[in-house]
Amino acid sequence: MKLSHIAISLVAAAALTTTGGAFAGGGHGHNHGGHDKEAEQEERTAESTGKVHSIAEDGSSVVLEHGPIPALRWPAMTMELALADPSLAEGLEVGAQVHFVLHQTGATDYKIISIEPAHDH
């Protein structure tokens, strides 16, 4: 009797697991893989180093001369990048080498969420 009880418990547990999986899968349908990909892109971040060309007076953006960013398939370039918070501009100096982290906020929109002087290695 004891063994059969264990067997029944295992079957019940397996059934619960299967039901749970089917339920979760049903909620997202066949696009589950697509959803994952989308979520990945929405939360995409990339980091690189660059040199500060200029800093907007209101701290809303900086122009950086950055190196290639393979994660985004960006070549090296000089470009203006929005700062997620004006306080990020504090302590930045034109001409300084910086290490920065970008967060993708839209299909082609990126914001700097972290920027600090690059460490000498």
Q: Which residues bind Cu ion (CB under 5 A)?
A: 74, 77, 79
Minimum Å gap between C-beta 52 and Cu ion is 14
Minimum Å gap between C-beta 91 and Cu ion is 22
| Nearer CB in complex with Cu ion: 79/101 | 79
| Nearer CB in complex with Cu ion: 71/77 | 77
- Of how many residues is the chain composed? 121
First to last CA, the chain: 69
